[in-house]
Structure 1
Amino acid sequence: MNKSLISLLTTLLLFSCNAPKVDIAIVNGLVIKNADIVSPLSQDVSSNNFIVLDGDSIAYIGQQEPHVKGTFTTLDAKGKFIIPGLIDSHVHITGTDALSEEEEIQNPEIVAHYKNQLPKSYLYFGYTTIIDLGTAHPDRLQDFLEAEIKPDLFYVGGGAVIGNGYGLTNWSDEVPNFIYQENEAYPIPEEYQKENHTPKAVAKRVGESGAIALKTYYEPGFDPTIPSFPTPTFELMADIKKEAHRNNLTLVVHGNSLEAHDFLGQANVDVIAHGLWNWGKYSLGDSLTIPKEIQKVLDTEIENQVGYMPTLQVINGLKILTNASFLNSPELDHVLPQDLITYYKEHSETMYANIFGDAPKEIIETNFTRISDQGKINLMYMYKNGGNILFGTDSPSSPTYGNPPGYNGYLEMMEMADAGLPLNKILSMATIENAKAFRLDDKYGSVEEGKRANLLVLNKNPLLDITAYNDISHVIINGKPINRETLSAAGRKD
């Protein structure tokens, strides 16, 4: 090697060693070093980064060590993986999981313990952002919002129900945002003025309430022995969508049946809040082939890029009632207070009977396994054909102990992986794709400068191992690092 080349290399080496550091001025923050960042956008790993958090925002990301001015602490993430905090876009937080209003009144101490733990339970499994899909009144969220440690919470204008339709249990101001349908067969009480219950009026109220989405329903009902609930027309749904978008709201519609998905796919709504696991007169045979009638409906949703929430755990949560051994799962100790777990164990048979009557558990288990398989095969069809799949759990979906907060999201991910969904897709669905669907991607869904400092520090790479989501070192919420074990309902384990 000649002297001139050696001199050049020496100069370059000295320059790189003495290159000025990036100056970052912060008020109060966190510096993460040796960070391997897993991106849901590029779906790869960027190694050995520095991440500087200033308050609740990401101020700097880079492999060049910054010179940080201000007050900060340091977290060494060597050997760990950084991902954006997870987003569950379908939860319900205003009640106590699986307890009726009467049971809540009878057990105030259990309710208090549950509400105190609830925000921590979502964080324990990495859900730093959740979207409540059923609350008409923001004041019902107050207990959750007043918690010292909690995920970022958004909500939709629940109660935008078709007059006399599913989801409207009584005529009172408790559910003010019902939508009048002119061809409604049932009479609407005279005290309600039609002009206050048009899609335009309802969407305006929902938008002004601070909601990020408007939710309505296409649900004819579940009991064939009683008349069907009213459902919207195509014209009305088109009007609802127009007014939702006028108010910068995502239109989310409840629906899980073949009839509902057929209608909603053609109506080109933004998001369907459930998977198509109710196939009506069709069923999954031994060949595991989707009937052409089901495929046709899914194809329409794929073509229109309608957001599709598989909500696989809705079915599994009900099936779990056939086997109370689920209540011995050690993971429940982290997300539920012990007195609530004890209550479930003491009332497990009653909870089963309240939903399934005296139906044999073996038959219920078999039928719900088939329905679950239908949901999973639909999920894979949507994935393989370019469907717009979003992550939401519907926690809790019904009066069952099978959908515990936080843990239910992990179980949903496990089911998706079991169905064959690639791990990179699961990551993107639960982060950036959810953020885009609900117009939150300016601040959420990826690890980028300027975005919200909601991050997870994992002990495993989630692109290689689904159990990484149950192997969390730290949860960083709004820039503040929290050791995962301190979030457990069982307390710190030394």
Structure 2
Amino acid sequence: MGTDAPRGDASAATVIDGSGKYVTPGLIDGHVHLAQVPGMLLQHESAMPAVVEAYYRQLPRSYLYFGFTTVIDLNVVDRERVETIRAAEIGPAVFDCGNALALANGYPMAYGPPATRFKSYPNFLYDPRQAASIPSEYPSNEHTPEAAVERVVAGGGICVKAHYETGFDRRIGSLPVPTANLMRQARDAGHRHRLPLLLHANSLEAHRFAVEVGADAVVHGLWNFGGGLPGGRNLPEEVREVLDAEVRNGIAYMPTSRVLSGLGDLFDSAFLNDPHLARVLPSELLAWYGTEEGGWFKSEMKRDFGGLSDERILERWGTVSERHRATSYVAAQGARIIFGSDTPSAPTYANPPGYNGYLELREMEALGMTPRQVLVSATLENARLFGLANDYGTIAPGKVASLLLLRENPLTSTVAFDTIETIIVKGRSHSRKSLAAN
């Protein structure tokens, strides 16, 4: 971007009339997983390669359709796929944090087959407590925090992603977690390269750990209070104390409210009829989601609800404001809020690329954040956290031209991001209509 006249033949320049409209920086989704098809496992992908390729061809355009001109993959599990998306002629700027620093046999490694989990997470952290179950081909000195961070740096990563997760569903409370000393080593190794430490944390225990080790950001809201704490409208004192410490210490807070909403939406009969889905998903994939096979994950989840109807499950799921009281609290306390949609957060079809981010914007506003807070979280604050502020996050001479032109005012309502008319990215302008899947 600049203020000088175009070089060369000015008559060849594209002039965009923004009269009566609104311009914002392009949005940054700070939590995506690009090499995963929502709602599919590997066996589904293997059985439907043409559908999978249609999805990946559309994916870059789908992020642009809802204004996400920059995306950050926090855990690269398929480098070739990510590089193909990065090279797309029409698509967002793609950054990544390399392969995450998963604890050996902890989350998310434990959810993969034992025979392949170490190949899927080659940047794992060695844990002496797990020595007997770590294959001998992985020497401990090659899986220290320092060695793992060096691999992230060598691959061009812009953050260090780690986890504190004791498990959920049938593994709840059973997974090993890193020690505070190990995580501080990862933090310090990253800081030597000016990379922030982002911690997967959604429980009271995990957020308390984030404060203890001095993480730079928590990349989930605090929605799991643990047993023995009261429900109701007011937050338990123990939860408020941890949230206050995060605010006081400047730990950035990424709500990712769509993690839970994307599960609840499986039981909403109206979701697959949402017309927005046809704008971001190939028709053949959308049709598959409506089949019995395409609803496999919903069926799997439903077994945990003892035969309840979809309607009753939705009632139990509660509202966004009920699930995310902690997010409303920290936003009111002036926390440093950053934006990430965690697309997809699970094998749910209710986390579609681009649209899931828009729904996250809407839910953040519903949780009490002002539209200005939401916009700043998805632009300037993300750019600052990830070290991208010299090029992205605001509109200023010398920065990358990553811009949105909207019909409605985004400082009035986040609904404005469904009124985008033009997206400017990678030196070219695109009409929103030209980016739709169907």
Contact 2:36–2:344, Cα closer than 8 Å, also in 1: no
CA distance in structure 2 between the aligned counterparts of 1:206 and 1:217, rounded to whole angstroms: 16
Letter in 2 for 1:126: G
Choose the corresponding residue for 1:101, options 26, 34, 42. Answer: 42
1:353 equivalenced with 2:302 (yes/no):
no
Superposition deviation, residue 188 in structure 1: 2.1
Higher deviation after alignment, 374-383 or 80-89: 374-383
Alignment of 1:184-199 (within 5 A): 184=130, 187-199=133-145
1:324 equivalenced with 2:272 (yes/no):
no
CA distance in structure 1 between the aligned counterparts of 2:230 and 2:418, rounded to whole angstroms: 32
Superposition deviation, residue 190 in structure 1: 2.1
Structure 1 pair 350–165 and aligned structure 2 pair: CA distance change class (3 A): closer
1:167 equivalenced with 2:112 (yes/no):
no
Which residue pairs with 1:150 in the alignment? 91
Letter in 1 for 2:271: F
Higher deviation after alignment, 139-148 or 262-271: 139-148
Deviations 1:148-192 (A, max 9, x none): 201000011223111121122345444211111234475422222
Which residue pairs with 1:456 in the alignment? 404
Superposition deviation, residue 406 in structure 1: 0.4
Which residue pairs with 2:199 in the alignment? 253
Superposition deviation, residue 284 in structure 1: 6.6
Q: How many residues are matched? A: 426
- Greater relative contact order (CA < 8 Å, ≥ 6 in sequence): 2
Contact 1:159–1:167, Cα closer than 8 Å, also in 2: no
Structure 1 pair 104–234 and aligned structure 2 pair: CA distance change class (3 A): same
Contact 1:276–1:375, Cα closer than 8 Å, also in 2: no
Contact 2:35–2:78, Cα closer than 8 Å, also in 1: no
Which residue pairs with 1:59 in the alignment? 2
Which residue pairs with 1:122 in the alignment? 63
Contact 2:118–2:124, Cα closer than 8 Å, also in 1: no
- The SS at the match of 2:162 is strand
- The SS at the match of 2:104 is coil
Deviations 1:177-222 (A, max 9, x none): 1111234475422222111111111111110111111111111111
Structure 1 pair 109–136 and aligned structure 2 pair: CA distance change class (3 A): closer
- The SS at the match of 1:154 is strand
Structure 1 pair 224–147 and aligned structure 2 pair: CA distance change class (3 A): closer
CA distance in structure 2 between the aligned counterparts of 1:332 and 1:235, rounded to whole angstroms: 45
CA distance in structure 2 between the aligned counterparts of 1:260 and 1:212, rounded to whole angstroms: 23
Structure 2: 5+ residue stretches without partners: none
- The SS at the match of 1:153 is strand
CA distance in structure 2 between the aligned counterparts of 1:350 and 1:84, rounded to whole angstroms: 39
Which residue pairs with 2:372 in the alignment? 424
Letter in 1 for 2:144: T
Which residue pairs with 2:431 in the alignment? 483
1:434 equivalenced with 2:379 (yes/no):
no
Superposition deviation, residue 260 in structure 1: 0.9
Cα RMSD over matched residues?
A: 1.9
Which residue pairs with 2:8 in the alignment? 70
Contact 1:376–1:416, Cα closer than 8 Å, also in 2: no
Letter in 2 for 1:316: S
Contact 1:93–1:141, Cα closer than 8 Å, also in 2: yes
Letter in 2 for 1:462: P
Superposition deviation, residue 375 in structure 1: 4.2
Higher deviation after alignment, 127-136 or 468-477: 127-136
Structure 1 pair 303–227 and aligned structure 2 pair: CA distance change class (3 A): closer
Contact 1:161–1:167, Cα closer than 8 Å, also in 2: yes
Alignment of 1:191-270 (within 5 A): 191-223=137-169, 228-270=174-216
CA distance in structure 2 between the aligned counterparts of 1:225 and 1:138, rounded to whole angstroms: 29
Contact 2:201–2:220, Cα closer than 8 Å, also in 1: yes
Superposition deviation, residue 87 in structure 1: 0.3
Choose the corresponding residue for 2:122, options 176, 182, 198. Answer: 176
Superposition deviation, residue 101 in structure 1: 0.6
Structure 1 pair 466–114 and aligned structure 2 pair: CA distance change class (3 A): same
User: Hey, which of these two has a bigger chunk of strand by percent?
Assistant: 1
CA distance in structure 2 between the aligned counterparts of 1:469 and 1:284, rounded to whole angstroms: 37
Contact 2:321–2:366, Cα closer than 8 Å, also in 1: no
Choose the corresponding residue for 1:289, options 225, 234, 243. Answer: 234
Contact 1:268–1:301, Cα closer than 8 Å, also in 2: no
Contact 1:266–1:300, Cα closer than 8 Å, also in 2: no
1:366 equivalenced with 2:315 (yes/no):
yes
Contact 1:324–1:345, Cα closer than 8 Å, also in 2: no
Letter in 2 for 1:231: V
- The SS at the match of 1:142 is helix
Higher deviation after alignment, 319-328 or 438-447: 319-328
Contact 2:102–2:123, Cα closer than 8 Å, also in 1: yes
Letter in 2 for 1:241: R
CA distance in structure 2 between the aligned counterparts of 1:112 and 1:455, rounded to whole angstroms: 28
Superposition deviation, residue 145 in structure 1: 2.3
Choose the corresponding residue for 1:306, options 229, 247, 251. Answer: 251
Structure 1: 5+ residue stretches without partners: 1-57, 61-65
CA distance in structure 2 between the aligned counterparts of 1:238 and 1:142, rounded to whole angstroms: 31
Which residue pairs with 2:336 in the alignment? 388
Contact 1:275–1:375, Cα closer than 8 Å, also in 2: no
CA distance in structure 2 between the aligned counterparts of 1:105 and 1:138, rounded to whole angstroms: 18
Contact 1:266–1:301, Cα closer than 8 Å, also in 2: no
Contact 1:158–1:216, Cα closer than 8 Å, also in 2: no
Q: TM-score, normalised by structure 2?
A: 0.93
Structure 1 pair 421–188 and aligned structure 2 pair: CA distance change class (3 A): same
Superposition deviation, residue 302 in structure 1: 1.0
